[in-house]
Every structure is written in C-alpha cells, then in structure tokens.
C-alpha cells in the first residue's frame, strides 16, 4: 500500500494512505501531486506539503474569508493572493456585497488541475463574472497595482520556495498600500506549535505597516499541530472586536450556510493561548 508522507516538521510526519494518484508532475514552479485517500477524500500537496483536502478544506476557507468579510460587513473589492485551489474564492463570492474578487496566483497549473481533479473546492468560482484571475507573482502585483481593496487574503504556501516572498516586511507594506482606508489583511501563518518563528516574524514585520496587527486561530486537521494562526493587519482596531450581535445579524442576513464558521467562534478566535502571545513578544 502506497503512502504519502509530509515531512514539513523536523522529526515528525503525517502520513496518508494513497488509494490512487490522480496527478503528479513538476510544474513551472513546484512539485504538484493530487491523490485519492480513504480517509481525507482527495488531497493536493505542493513541494511535499499538504495544501488542501476535500474532507477538511471548509475549516480554513471559511475562517480565512468570513472573519474579515463579516468584520467589514460591506466589502466590495477583495484581493486573493495564492489560493490556486479556488476554495477562498468560492467562499468570498458567497458574500453579496462583493462586486470584484481579484485572484493573483503564481502557478496556472494549480488552478487548472484543481478545477479538473478537485472541482468541488472551487465549485465554479473561477467562472463567476466577478472573478478576475491574474497569473503572476503576488509580490509583483501588490508592488505595481493601482487598484485598492477592502480585504486582502493571502492564501499562500509556507514560507519555503515560491511562497517565501509573501512573508516579508516589504510585501506587507505593499499590501497596506493596496488597502482602502479601514481595510484588512489576513494571511496564512502556519501552525505555531511547530512554526513559532512565523508568528514572531510576521508580528514584527506586519507591525511595521499596520497600527493593529495580530492573529486569530482555526484548527485544521491536516495542518497538523493544533491551532493554526491566521495573520490579521489593519489600521482600524475596532475591526477585531465587532459586537457579537452585529456579527450575528450580518451572518443571518448573508444567509450563508457554513460548516465551521459561526459568529461566536469568530469572536472567540481572537482569544489566543499564552504560548502564542509569548511568541508575539
């Protein structure tokens, strides 16, 4: 029986039983494999790191989108950097206030192969008239664009390989420049139990551009190690503390059925364990 072992964390591995390998090739930018498993549905990995599984994708995709979008309440223009599988785009487009979702993805192959082998993740989002898909490096886009956004969501790979540039001080400064007043940046920021330095580094680097930055959490079974931190950066400190009743009303009016996100969990996600707070000092 074939297995896929993710060796992201030193001295520790998560291992999947493989029923069938659906695709495996080196794209222009990274090694891409998509395989069927008996336990987690279909799984995509890039450079041997699990990116998404059809069984637990909803956790991360709901928390990376509905937290900033319900905090804002009226976002019309959203920028997604990375996110090639289309899960973030799918959830963003469920918000009626969104008029444009610009998605900047480095690797066209990730989009094409996700649509082919993982269609339920994007669920037609790439064909939505509000979607603008741009294939380029996210760093280049935020350095050059004159567009402005209410929310920027960085759904990147880990800070190794092509994703590394999306964790730098200059990248966060350019994201700050591309946000409208009162806008918010959220980022994929790893699992602090194993990747504590990502919390320390992001907190310092993002803090250079944003007057209110920190993290909120979600627990994604296949991003192993417990809490995952999602980076949060804005100049509107009130955004992290929207009244629970307001969130409940917005959630009800949006009429979005979720499997993980709730307004109460939204509020609770900003309460951080002490070991994560310690990493922010």
Give the active site residues.
155
- Residue 85 interacting with ligand SAM (CB under 6 A): yes
- Which of the stretches 12-20, 71-79, 152-160, 192-200 binds ligand SAM when contact is defined by CB under 6 A? 152-160
Residue among 73 and 226 whose Cβ is closer to ligand SAM? 226
Cα→Cα distances 131→126, 220, 261, 268, Å: 6, 26, 23, 31
Q: Return the number of the residue (143 or 212) whose C-beta is nearest ligand SAM.
A: 143
- What sign results for the dihedral spanned by CA atoms 195, 280, 61, 219? positive
Assess 159 for contact with ligand SAM (CB under 6 A): no
Q: Does 198 bind ligand SAM (CB under 6 A)?
A: no
Instruction: Decide: 6 and 14 in contact? Cβ < 8 Å.
Output: yes
Range 239-275 burial, b when 16+ CB lie within 10 A, else e: bbebeeeebeebbeebebebebbebebbbebeebeee
Sign of CA dihedral 274, 60, 138, 267: negative
Q: Is 91 an interacting residue with respect to ligand SAM (CB under 6 A)? A: no
Q: Which of 133, 143, 165, 254 binds ligand SAM (CB under 6 A)?
A: 165
What single-letter DSSP state applies at residue 18?
Answer: -
Residue 163 touching ligand SAM (CB under 6 A): yes
Determine, following the binding rule CB under 6 A, whether residue 67 of this chain makes contact with ligand SAM. no
Q: How far is the CB of 243 from ligand SAM (least distance, A)?
A: 29
Q: Name the site residues for ligand SAM (rule: CB under 6 A).
A: 46, 51-52, 60, 81-85, 104-107, 110, 137-139, 155-157, 162-163, 165-166, 188
């Amino acid at each position: 029986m074939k297995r896929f072992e993710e060796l992201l964390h030193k001295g520790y591995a998560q291992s999947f039983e493989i029923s069938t390998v659906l695709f495996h090739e080196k794209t222009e930018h990274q090694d891409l494999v998509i395989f069927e498993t008996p336990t987690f549905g279909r799984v995509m990995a890039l450079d041997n790191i699990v990116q998404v599984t059809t069984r637990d994708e909803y956790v991360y995709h709901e928390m990376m989108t509905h937290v900033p979008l319900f905090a804002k309440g009226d976002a019309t223009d959203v920028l997604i950097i990375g996110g090639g599988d289309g899960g973030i785009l799918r959830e963003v487009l469920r918000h009626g206030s969104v008029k444009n979702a610009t998605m900047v993805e480095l690797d066209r192959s990730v989009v094409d192969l996700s649509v082919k082998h993982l269609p339920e993740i994007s669920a037609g989002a790439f064909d939505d008239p509000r979607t603008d898909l741009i294939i380029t490096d996210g760093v280049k886009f935020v350095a050059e664009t004159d567009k402005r956004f209410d929310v920027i969501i960085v759904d990147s790979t880990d800070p190794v390989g092509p994703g590394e540039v999306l964790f730098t001080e200059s990248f966060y400064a350019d994201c700050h420049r591309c946000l409208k007043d009162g806008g918010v940046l959220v980022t994929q920021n790893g699992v602090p139990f194993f990747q504590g330095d990502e919390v320390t580094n992001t907190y310092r680097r993002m803090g250079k551009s944003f007057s209110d930055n920190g993290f909120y959490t979600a627990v994604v079974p296949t991003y192993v190690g417990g809490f995952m931190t999602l980076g949060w950066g804005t100049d509107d400190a009130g955004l992290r503390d929207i009244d629970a009743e307001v969130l409940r009303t917005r959630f009800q009016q949006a009429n979005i059925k979720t499997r993980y996100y709730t307004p109460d969990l939204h509020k609770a996600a900003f309460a951080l364990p002490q070991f994560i707070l310690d990493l922010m000092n």
